[in-house]
Every structure is written in C-alpha cells, then in structure tokens.
Chains A and B, each alone.
Chain A
Amino acid sequence: MKQIALVGSPNCGKTTLFNVLTKSNQRTGNWAGVTVEQKIGEFKLDGQAVELIDLPGVHMLTDCPLSIDAKITNDYLKSSEPDAILLVLDATQLRRQAELIPQIMATGQPVVIALNMMDALADHGLELNTTELKALLGDRLIEISAAKGTGIAALNKALGNALASQPLPQDDAGAVDCSCNPLPHEPLSHSGLLAAIDRATTFTGEPTLTERIDRWLLHPALAIPSFLLVMYLLFMISVQFGAIFIDFFDIWLGSWVVEGLRWVLSSLQAPAWLIAFVADGIGAGVQLIATFIPVIGALYLCMSWLEDSGYLARAAFVIDGVMSRIGLPGQAFIPLIVGFGCNVPSVMAARSLNSISARLTTIFIAPFMSCSARLSVYVFVGSAFFPEHAGLAIFSLYLLGIIVAVGSAWLLRKTLFGRFHEPSILEMPSYRRPVWRNVFTQAGHRLHSFMMRAGKRIMLVVIVLSCLGAVKTDGSWGAPGSPDSALAWIGKKLTPVLTPIGIGEDNWQATLGLFSGLFAKEVMVGTIQTLYTNEDESGDLTSTEMPDFMGDLGLAFGSVADNGKALFGIEPEAEPDAELNLIANSPIANLFPSAWAAFCFLAFVLLYAPCVATLGAMQREAGSGWLRFSLAWSLMLSYWIASNLWQLSHLFEQPLFASLWFVLSSAVLALFYSLIVKRVRDKHLGEIQVVNLT
C-alpha cells in the first residue's frame, strides 16, 4: 500500500485533518522505543487504498531536535521514504512555519501543501492573498479548512496526482519538482518565499480573537479565579460524573464474568485451582480494569476538550510560577490535580509533558495524591476511631500527601535532575471551538491504550494475588481471602515488621488489608471488614449457584440511577451509617493500640504503594527501572513517616528510644535514598533519550 506522511508544526490542525481524511479508519501504536503515540490511518484515493501516517509536530527539521516528538519526525523523514508528504501549514502562522516548505521539499518526495485554517484568518486580523504563493509553489498548494471540512476534495485530487508522479532521485533535490506540477522558474529559496509571504499578508490591525479572550482569562485579577473554576469543573465532571458508572461495571461484570465463570466451571466439575485462576484471577482482573473505564474515559474526554480548545496552555501559564519552584513546568499541574481523582489517569496524563525529567518527576510524585479510593479508607477507619475529628484527620492526610509530593519533587531536582536546565518556552495556541470528532477520537485512543497496556499488568498482579489468597497453607484450595490462605500466612509473618508504625502484633487483618489495597484502595474497606467480622466463620463463601444474570444487570443499571441522584443531592446516601455500626461492634477497635495508631496506619495507607493499576501505568509510561525506584522510595518513606508519627506519641514516655528511632531511621532512609539515586544516575539516566540532548 502506498504511504503518505503527514507533517506539520504543533497546533497547525494536523490531527483534525488526519481525522477528516481517515474518519474512523485508524489504528494507534507506539513509536519504537518511546511512549509517543503513533497513528496510522487508511483512506481511499481514486478508489485505491492509501496509508496516512501522522508524524508528531515539528517546528523545523534540524540536527538537534528538542523533544522526543521532533526527533521521531526527523528520524522518520531521514530514514523512511513515504510515497508522498502532506505538509500542513497554519495560514495564520504562515511566516513562521514557512521554513518547513523548503526543508520538506528537499527530501525529494512529492509534496502537497495544505494551507489550513483559511477560515480563521479574519479572527487573527489577517488577510492573505495566495496568488503569488500559488505561482511560486504550483498546484501543490491547496487552501483548506480542516475544522470546516472545506477544500478536502481538491486536496484529495492533489494527493492522487502526487502519488501518480515519480519522486526525483535525492541528489537532484535542489530542483524540486514532480511531473504533474509546473516547474517554478528559479529554485525555491527561503528568503524569496518569506518575501512572497510578506507581500501576500495584510494586517488589518484588529486585535485577534485569542488576544481578546486572553485579556479576560489572563487578566491579573481574573486569571487565578478562572483557572480554579476550570480545574474544579474538570475534576467534578470527570471524577464525580465518571464515578456514577463505576458501580455499574462492578456489579454487572462481577455477576456476569466473575460469578458466571465460577458457576460455569463448578458445574463442569473443574478443580478448585482452575476456578481460582479463571474466575477470581482473570475474571476479577477484567472486572477491576473495567471499573476504571468510566472515570478515565470521562477524564480523557474533558482533557481532550480542554486541549483542543487551547485553554490547557493558559492553565499551565497561570500555575507555572508555583510549579517552577519544584522544578516542574506549569503543564505538570494538570496530571497532579487529576491524581486527586485517580492516580492512573494522572500517570498517563504525564505524557503530555515534553521534557523527560518533568515527565519522570510527575510520574514519581503523582501516587502521593490522595485518590478518591483512598478517601473511602480514610472515612472508614477515621469515623471508627476519631468520629469527632474525622474531617480534620482526612484534611491532614491530603495535606501530608501534597507535602510529600512537593518534597519528593524537590529532592529529585536536587539530586538527579538539577543539572538539566530546561528552558520552558511554551507555545500558546489560538483558542478554537473544539472539534468533537477530534475530542472523541483522541479520548478513545487514550482509553484504548490504557486498557490494552496497563490492563495486561493489572491482570497479572490480580491473578497472582487471587491465587495466593485462595491457596491454603496445606496446599488445598479454598474461598478467596480465608484466614488460613497463603496470603493470610504472609500477612501474619509480616505483621511484626509493621508494629513500629502502630499496628498491634495480632492485627494481621490490617496487614492483609494493605495487600488487598494493592488491588485497589477501596477494596481495603471490604477486606478489613470481612476479616474482622467473619473471623470465626469457616469462610466458605464460594457460591456455586447460577448468578441471577438479569437481576444483577438490573441492579447495575439501578446503581447508575442511584449514584446520579446522589451526585445531584436528590437522595443522600444512607449506607455509611450501617457500615459504621458494624465497625463499632467489631474487634477492630481493640487491635489498634490507640486512635493515633489508626491515624499512623492511614498515613501508611496513603503513601506505601499505589494500586496495581497505577503501578501498571507507571511501568508502561516510565519503564521498570523508574517504577522500582519510585516504589522503593514510597515504601521506605511511608514506613519512615508512619513509624516516626507513632514514636512521636511516645516522646514523653520513652524520650530516648523515640529520638533514637528518629535519628536512626532518618539515617537509614537517607543512606538508602542516596544509594538508589546513585544507581539510577549511573544505570538508567543514560537510557533516557531527551535528557541526553543537553
């Protein structure tokens, strides 16, 4: 199949054109070795199928590209030989982007130039007379508006002609042409082109639409309030609205996949280990991944909309001053605020950052944001131990997370990334009405990529933990989560290690809760409650009856309605009270030595490790080395913080031991950190491409 490469500056409307040409005929992947999305689409030219490959945006072709994106495009144009190149230029930024014309023509391939955004010239206070440019560039110059869909037929015709022509050999690149186009009399020179563009352009002197909007949105008194409003809406719509549908997937797939598989397998007399593997491993893995769809999907939709509108760059502008103090660009704020909803999209959103050190730092600190699943644990434990001060306790935990994130970012900058000065000159694209096709395709691609890639790793961990939870220490297989499972055995062995943070020696349930918190933080509540309340029961929860498929589907749809009502405050949720009574009567209260110990436990829950979904996303975005570093750091730091908080309450009883603990644990923490950083610097930093550009 013939291949056409799509080239253009960032924000020139390249993606819109890509979507217009290929419709939904697209597939995505990654460029070899980097986490930059590769998009290939297919469309028909004169009845013949051709492939369109979307190259990342570049300002110009140089030998020293400044971002992964630019490097990919440079390398591609140097090494691959597409049958034709479609160069997209923003008519409102023509003078600045004109440099690409001679550079792309010099590749020797047939070139078609799409002059995009012809409809937006007036909004930019410009008039453009293309007669002379057409004379200079020939038939290959086509005026279009990708957003409005005008000029596409002419563009297709020009592309067809370009493909039918023969490329010139490379060494003749000076006299660029192809048989279908009239040859310009003199070879195309950059200065001649610029002069022609200057003659063609008339400034009407009106302030542009974008400048007029910026007068309000970047106004010193209004910038921060409007920023906060947009962030609040982003958070509310994506997290709160998306959360309405979580229970739907949870109930529906829990019944149709997990229970359904269990029923099918047990009616087939399958062995217990197979049931544990298939139903509680694979089935529960599918269920867990699916519960992330609503929040992540809603978030990606909102983000794509904001990105397409041009506001995202303004948000980065407003918060840049604060972020620069911890060595991050302003854009890093968005992944972090998203982290309060869910850490997974937070890690995924870090890929929008161009500089690799900013990307790694953001991925490193994103898990310290208290996600909404952790909130459910805070509420559960908090209202059992300090019902009067639950609000204050939860607020302090959020604050602790932010302080740890800021501190870790600062530490990384001091020890690892300090020597890389990364200039932060960010282009602020013009405001545009978002094109819905772009928004949905973009969000769809990102969601798909999350499900396929992070999903695999989530599945693997769920299978391992489920099997450990189902196999008993005597080798037989039982119900998941029983007190004599291998997982419970590990929990009991590990509990003594956790006594310094205030977990009682017999409180193995809390340790096991930490394990199940690895699946998903909200699972902790269920696990802890089941373990404490059903301690004496035989734990034979495995039902082998056929689940009520239709009834559960009805329940699933009902949950959407209920959650929707709760969101708009029509019907306050009444359930938490019932849960609280359960805890008050359960032995949980005896197992933590004091309320302060429960707080230390919560601090540990906040920091020790993110859930498997986040770990999967981190590995995918930053690689295993960085994941190990980040995980080791959060484990050590959480232990250090929780144990010292616990020792703090003994400062007056055992001043010597408490202060000795503080000094020694801090020394160990510092030692381990410096060892790990040294290792990361020696072994892994060299593998990171963009850092080497400096």
Chain B
Amino acid sequence: MTLDQLNLRQSARVVAVNSDSNVLRSHCAQLGIAPGAPIEVLHRAVGRGPMQAKIQGALYAIRQEDAAAIEVTV
C-alpha cells in the first residue's frame, strides 16, 4: 500500500519510493524517508490538502500526489 492510503495514527514502515522524479527520490532520501524508516500519519488537511506525517521523529507536510509514490507496509 502507499502512504496516502494509510489510516490516521496507523504505524507503518517505508518500503520504497516509487517515482520517476529524481527530485522526489533524492528529496525523500535527504529527509530520511528511506526504506525501513518508521512512519505515521498524524493529521490530514481538509480537501485536497497535504498530510502531516511523522518519520523518524520529524514532522513533514506531504502532498497527496507525493504520498502516493511512497510505498509503506503496516
């Protein structure tokens, strides 16, 4: 499953970042969104807004389309 399908407050781990975009892949790598990293969705903004996710203790705002590229496992 991908990050955008994860329920609120459900703990998971990152499996891979599947994207054609080099920028997104290296962005994720630099922010610690790497295979094995624990991840949890804390909030979702209303409408088409982003989600707030906690990854390795840090908080990030991630847009839906970027979250769809991050594969996670519960």
Contact = CB atoms under 8 A, between A and B. Distances in A.
B49 A318 contact: yes
B45 A424 contact: no
Contacts of A316: 61
Nearest to B59: A428
B46 A224 contact: yes
B35 interface: no
B50 A317 contact: yes
A654 interface: no
Interface stretch (A89-97, A159-167, A230-238): A89-97
Contacts of B10: none
B26 A317 contact: no
Contacts of A693: 23
A603 B21 CA distance: 42
A321 B45 CA distance: 8
A423 interface: yes
Contacts of A428: 52, 59-61
Interface string B37-74: 00000111111111010101111111100100000000
Given A95-B56, A211-B42, A424 B66 contact: yes
Contact of A214 (B31, B52, B62): B52
Given A317-B52, A321-B50, A423-B24, A62 B61 contact: no
Given A93-B57, A317-B52, A66 B23 contact: yes
Contact of B43 (A66, A218, A426): A218
A694 B52 contact: no
A422 interface: yes
Interface string A412-443: 00000000011111111110000000000000
Contacts of B58: 93, 96, 427
Contacts of A429: 59
Contacts of B60: 425-428
A226 interface: no
A313 interface: yes
Given A218-B43, A317-B49, A320-B49, A426 B61 contact: yes
A124 B32 CA distance: 18
A66 B61 contact: no
Contacts, number: 113
Contacts of B31: 59, 96, 425, 427
B52 A425 contact: no
Contacts of B56: 95-96
B18 to A, nearest CB: 13
B30 A59 contact: yes
Contact of B48 (A124, A211, A321): A321
Nearest to A323: B49
A223 interface: yes
Nearest to A201: B57
A425 B24 CA distance: 9
Contacts of B66: 423-425
Interface string A607-637: 0000000000000000000000000000000
A62 B26 contact: yes
Contacts of B63: 320, 324, 423-425
A427 B60 CA distance: 4
B50 A424 contact: yes
Contacts of A59: 30-32
Contacts of B32: 59, 96
A574 interface: no
A616 to B, nearest CB: 33
Contacts of B48: 321, 324-325
Q: Which of B28, B32, B56, B59 has the most CB of A within 10 A?
A: B59
A224 B21 CA distance: 32
A195 to B, nearest CB: 14
A6 to B, nearest CB: 20
Contacts of A93: 57-58
B42 A214 contact: yes
B57 to A, nearest CB: 6
A64 B33 CA distance: 17
B52 A66 contact: no
14 contacts: A64-B26, A66-B30, A93-B57, A95-B56, A96-B32, A126-B57, A214-B52, A318-B49, A321-B47, A421-B23, A423-B24, A425-B33, A428-B52, A694-B23
Interface of A: 59-60, 62, 64, 66, 92-93, 95-96, 124, 126, 210-211, 214, 218-220, 223-224, 313, 316-318, 320-322, 324-325, 330, 421-430, 693-694
